[in-house]
């Protein structure tokens, strides 16, 4: 199996059916084997029920259902380790980055990169519609600056875009060591990738801005404290040794 696509889902009964149908429509036209995994993060709505019904309609769709909320990092880890693909991509359930853009990843994987991440902050990226300026400053520029000073990853501009691909080896190596279940999990998995010696490539994506995004200002505070703890754990050697 060449590709596994993982969708973490929390209260997505309204948005995920369209995303899954569009993903399936595209993948069915490709010459390789694939699977689509939805990892339900203890949703309080009908997300799990909706996906179960779609399993009879959409080929190669599989639901991993959690009764309790783990956090996005927790369910992405679960999906990555349960996946069977040679390459494993996680993407947001709102389809902000469409599945067709996985085509941009293949040349980089062929060049030897083992982690390829979508970016909204490098040349060639398109945001439609553009982010409101206050969101761009608080959740974009400010977060990026804080992240670079605390964690590093100076060469990466956008660690938070929900469209990241990994080779199977990198996915299993990185996510088996990952601990963070909240929003800082993106930073953690990239810090681990660098620590383990994996080559990371940042590529521009077309990103559809969801004005109803669930990220709130309070999450910035949690991200800040989460990065402090991540930095501390990295320094104290609480993660496994380098590859």
What letter would DSSP give residue 168? Answer: H
Q: Is residue 229 part of a domain?
A: yes
Domain harbouring 143, CATH code? 3.90.550.10
Q: What is the reported pLDDT for 209?
A: 76
Query: 103 — phi, psi (to 5°)?
Result: -60, -30
Q: What is the reported pLDDT for 22?
A: 98
Q: Is residue 243 part of a domain?
A: no
Q: What is the reported pLDDT for 143?
A: 79
Q: What does DSSP say about strands 87-91 and 163-167: parallel, antiparallel, or unpaired?
A: antiparallel
Q: What is the reported pLDDT for 169?
A: 98
Q: Is residue 241 part of a domain?
A: no
Distance in angstroms (rounded) separating the CA atoms of residues 148 and 196: 19
Domain span including residue 99: 3-235
Q: What is the reported pLDDT for 242?
A: 55
For the segment 44-86, what is each residue's pLDDT rounded down to a tens digit? 999 999 999 999 999 999 999 999 999 999 999 999 999 999 9
Mean of the per-residue pLDDT values of the chain: 91
Buried (b) or exposed (e) across 141-152, using 16+ Cβ within 10 A? eebbeebeebbe
Distance in angstroms (rounded) separating the CA atoms of residues 70 and 47: 15
Domain tally, the chain? 1
């Amino acid at each position: 199996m060449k590709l596994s696509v993982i969708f973490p889902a929390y209260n997505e009964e309204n948005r995920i059916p369209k995303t899954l149908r569009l993903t399936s429509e595209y993948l069915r036209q490709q010459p390789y084997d694939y699977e689509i995994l939805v990892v339900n993060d203890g949703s309080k709505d009908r997300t799990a029920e909706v996906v179960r019904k779609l399993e009879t309609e959409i080929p190669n769709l599989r639901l991993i259902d959690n009764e309790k909320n783990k956090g996005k990092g927790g369910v992405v880890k679960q999906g990555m380790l349960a996946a069977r693909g040679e390459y494993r991509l996680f993407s947001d359930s709102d389809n902000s980055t469409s599945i067709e853009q996985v085509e941009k990843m293949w040349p980089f994987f062929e060049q030897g990169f083992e982690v390829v991440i979508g970016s909204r902050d490098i040349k060639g990226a398109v945001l439609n519609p553009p982010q409101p300026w206050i969101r761009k400053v608080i959740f974009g520029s400010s977060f990026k600056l804080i992240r670079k000073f605390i964690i590093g990853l100076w060469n990466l501009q956008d660690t938070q875009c929900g469209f990241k691909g990994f080779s199977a080896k990198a996915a299993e190596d990185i996510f088996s060591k990952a601990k963070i279940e909240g929003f800082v999990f993106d930073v953690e998995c990239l810090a681990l990738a660098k620590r383990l010696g994996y080559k990371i490539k940042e590529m521009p994506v077309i990103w559809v801005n969801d004005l109803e995004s669930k990220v709130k200002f309070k999450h910035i505070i949690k991200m800040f404290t989460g990065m402090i703890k991540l930095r501390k754990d990295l320094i104290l050697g609480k993660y496994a040794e380098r590859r």
